[in-house]
Chain A
Amino acid sequence: MRINPRHTDKLMSAGLSLQALFTVGILILIIAIIFIKGFPYVTAEFIFSYPEDMGRLGGVFPSIIGTIFLGLLSIAFATPLGIGTAIYLTEYTKESTLTRVIRFGVESLAGIPSIIYGLFGFIFFVIKLGLGWSLLSGTLTVAIMVLPTIIRTSEEAIKSVPKNLRTVSFSLGATKWETVTRVIIPSAAPGILTGIMLSIGRAVSETAAVIFTMGSSLRLPTSIMDSGRTMAVHFYILAREGISMEKAYATALVLVLSILVINILAYYLMHRMIARYS
């Protein structure tokens, strides 16, 4: 029996939209579970107090501070390098073997799994350079890890700046560098910021690379040579060692909420970038 193609067409159209709906459903389900289970335990006290008894009691204040420092410091290292690379690749050179090799390097860095970054950071920063389990070791490791994200998004953003802005700037007698810093970067800023936000998100949610470089001390890190425990690492330890389900859900809620805010901000910025030049 031959099925009428029009029926197949309707069926597949419905099937595909159902599957898309299902996928969004998974996302909503994950967020809903974390919110419902975690919400009762997230209080001001939980956020602003220190953990006690391995995290069984008390709050996550040192982890929040550790996470914020890790996120901000790692992008402080990665952003200049990333934007510099993007500017070089788009404005200062033509496609050549060298740019292909650099792009290959960036792609490869992006493909390396986080546990390999953890191994590398552990042997290089923690042991060989003698930085120990510290905020600095964690920061440098994560900075290398997020570099490809910043390079790629900056490159895309710079490429989307219209050609005639450059032409006008040059015709007014500006040098290449003046054009880059006064015209191109400001125009590409929302796109570049998207990359930075996504990188912070990556630093916040990372566990494997952070646990072996920054360690898992529960104390508040007061210098970059101190060990610390980010929220993701704290959550991992709470959940894996079965220390406290309540605190695990509460930590997960704070973690997921931060990721949500960071990502939504990133998309808002990307949207502005697209709206500006299309």
Chain B
Amino acid sequence: MNRRFINKDALIRLVLLLFALSSLLFLFTIFVFILSEGLPLFYKAGVSSITLGMKWAPTKGYFGIFPMIVSSFMVTFGALVVGAPLALACATYLSEYAGKKTKIFLKPSLELLAGIPSVVYGFLGVVYIVPLIREYTGGSGFSILATSLVLGIMVLPTITSISFDSLMSVPAAFREGSLAMGATKWQTVYRVVLPAARSGILASFILGMGRAIGETMAVIMVAGNALKIPTSLLDPLRTLTSNIALELAYATDDHRSALFSTGVVLLVIIMSLNLLANFWVKRRVSR
């Protein structure tokens, strides 16, 4: 009888292991299919003519996505400039200053901000931010500036919640020690707590970048989708993600492959960012 129990438990363990392996299987399948659709074109057209090519006319044999790579990084940087300081301020306020009641209200609010669909952000960007820019500067309003503002708000929750976690993991003894030496609260936060949480905060910025560079629908709506390297803050642009979403529905043959190639480039960027963030978080843990 005892033996039967052991067998049943072993069987359950096996089934659960298979469940756990399913995530790896999915990840593997995603990679295999994106790569198998996207890589052949790199052989056919050449890696540099795609990643460094300036001209995108996929039905005529031009697959250059360099302007989109540059644009993606530009708006991602813009999103960080807009979102990161505000997010860090929120995280600091939440972990160091906010009372219990404020926290209970503030934290879910921030996460609610993350829950709002990206199409809604894009829509509000088109209806309110784009016309505002158009009015003050002329031009179309669809621009790096508009995209950065919208993305900046969208990365707020990501950066805030990860920075908050890393601030919370700073031992209370650090703060007590500093306050006991006669430092003010702000001196403690600025000189002790923030430096101690530095690696986690950096990781939060990188993950925020990942969120911004992967965002699609909101970007399509406010970026203007022009096919050149933007030279000013008010120029329209097309990112890697919007390139895929704009054309996938009707693309065929090499055109479709080119969109998967765009996906491959995006995937490589995202995985590098994730590994980088992971590296920083790991280092914090080992310290």
Residue numbers of A with Cβ under 8 A of B are: 5-6, 8-9, 12-13, 15-17, 19-20, 22-24, 26-27, 30, 33-34, 80-81, 84-85, 87-89, 92-93, 101-102, 105-109, 111-120, 122-124, 128, 144, 147-148, 151, 175-177, 198, 201, 204-208, 211-212, 232, 235-236, 239-240, 248, 252, 255-256, 259-260, 262-264, 267
* Listed A/B pairs (14) with beta-carbon separation below 8 Å: A19-B90, A20-B93, A23-B110, A33-B124, A101-B24, A102-B23, A113-B210, A113-B216, A115-B245, A119-B259, A124-B29, A144-B26, A147-B23, A240-B220
CA distance A27 to B86 in the complex (A): 14
Q: Is the CB of B270 within 8 A of A112?
A: yes
Q: How far is the CB of A255 from chain B (nearest CB, A)?
A: 6
| A108-B274, A113-B241, A116-B34 as given contacts; A30 in contact with B19, CB under 8 Å | no
A-B interface contact total, Cβ < 8 Å = 235
Q: Complex Cα distance A262/B112, Å?
A: 10
**Beyond the given A147-B26, A263-B111, could you list 9 further A-B residue pairs with CB under 8 A, ordered by the A residue number?**
A5-B183, A8-B184, A26-B113, A84-B19, A92-B12, A105-B23, A105-B27, A108-B271, A120-B29
Contact, CB under 8 Å: B17 / A105 = no
Given contacts A19-B89, A175-B9, contact A252 B123 (CB under 8 A): yes
A119-B263, A122-B248 given; A84·B16 CB < 8 A: yes
Q: Which of A15, A115, A177, A207 contacts B117 (CB 8 A)?
A: A207
Whether A177 lies near B123 (C-beta < 8 A) is no
With contacts A111-B270, A114-B214, A205-B115 known, is A119 near B34, CB below 8 A?
yes
Residues 107-128 of chain B, each 1 if its beta carbon lies under 8 Å from chain A, else 0:
0111111011111111110101
A34 with B120: in contact, given A109-B23, A112-B30, A176-B9 (CB under 8 Å)? yes
Let me know if A205 and B270 touch, CB within 8 A: no
Most A CB contacts (10 A, CB to CB) among B153, B217, B241 go to: B217
With A92-B13, A111-B270 as known contacts, state yes or no: A116 contacts B217, CB within 8 Å: no
User: Interface on B for A, CB 8 Å cutoff?
Assistant: 5, 8-9, 12-13, 15-17, 19-24, 26-27, 29-30, 33-34, 37, 86, 89-90, 92-94, 97-98, 106, 108-113, 115-124, 126, 128, 153, 156, 160, 183-187, 189-190, 207, 210, 213-217, 220-221, 241, 244-245, 248-249, 259-260, 263, 266-267, 270-271, 273-274, 278
Q: Which residues of A contact B189 (CB under 8 A)?
A: 12
Interface of B is mostly: helix
